[in-house]
Homo-oligomer: A and B are copies of this chain.
């Protein structure tokens, strides 16, 4: 029997307990041993809950119990999750987490502690809850040099953009509806400003490069400025607007990551990823394109990912599973030098000036009055910013991918 403790009995934590109970036949078989939830750490009591008797308020009860081999950290936030995780690893207890904030901030250190103490720090649930993506990168794409990862990594923003595309309504309206339905937080900033996707692409980029990609250095732009008019143009172009989190490593070793809304064509496999579904598109030098698709969040999908980590820990008691994510920070190409094509909307009277400044361009005709819209040649962010400044009346601009 392998004893497990769950830190935090909120949505994901209670999901973990539920998954272990509901699928115990499969899980015990695949673990090679019976899993037993021995403790649940929470500040609250849960009178009447079937697991009431397992609830403890002091983390030391768990840390000091040598019978506990695996800990699920489903608390979220940096503190006290960071301290608890560190202490657990120092005692040789494996930690499985859904906490992207903590993984993005302290991944390499916690992985090192796991190695030093012959246990594991696993975080499948930290990126794309219901999409197996960490393990495919670490275990499946091992014969590849991965040079590009492109993800739709946030369910809330993808739900909002999908709705805007389908119904032709503006951001604020859909956000309000999403909040009412519980698909968006009351304080939606982390989602709609792209911060959540930024943490996730930092984690995936670190695994892709084997070094540390600091999320603070990733250019991040949210979806709050996307309007119904943008979707009118997108449709005319046979494209959709998606919040993409991407990273690219060139052959010369230069690297960049970015989170921003992009227009992608109908032929792009990410085009059909709608609603609360997320997907990660990976390019390797031998395999070419592959894609991983599933629910980006949600209690049971996220909990299932945590429990799959628990099974992996159970299969590797006393042994650290290989994971390459060094302390060394990756040098990121400054955003100024990143190159894309841009879709640009200006006032109708700016046409002549726009042609003078941007030269070769493709005009975009759509049913929007009083505007002139076009797609630029590929250019650097810096060059674009300078030209847009010179033009003066840019209503919106969205990058193009594919």
- Chain A residues close to B by CB (< 8 Å): 19-20, 22-23, 26-27, 29-32, 124, 130-132, 135-136, 139-145, 210, 269, 271-272, 277, 279, 284-295, 298, 300-301, 303-305, 307-308, 310-312, 315, 322, 324
Contact = CB atoms under 8 A, between A and B. Distances in A.
Contacts of A292: 290-293
A376 B256 CA distance: 53
B311 A287 contact: no
B142 A311 contact: yes
B324 A301 contact: no
14 contacts: A26-B144, A27-B142, A30-B142, A131-B290, A135-B135, A142-B307, A142-B312, A143-B307, A271-B272, A287-B295, A288-B298, A290-B292, A290-B294, A315-B322
Contacts of A293: 269, 289-293
Given A19-B143, A130-B288, 10 more contacts: A23-B145, A23-B286, A32-B322, A136-B140, A142-B311, A143-B310, A143-B311, A286-B301, A288-B300, A289-B294
A295 B286 contact: no
A129 to B, nearest CB: 9
Nearest to A32: B322
Contacts of A310: 143
A288 B141 CA distance: 24
Nearest to A306: B143
A135 B144 contact: no
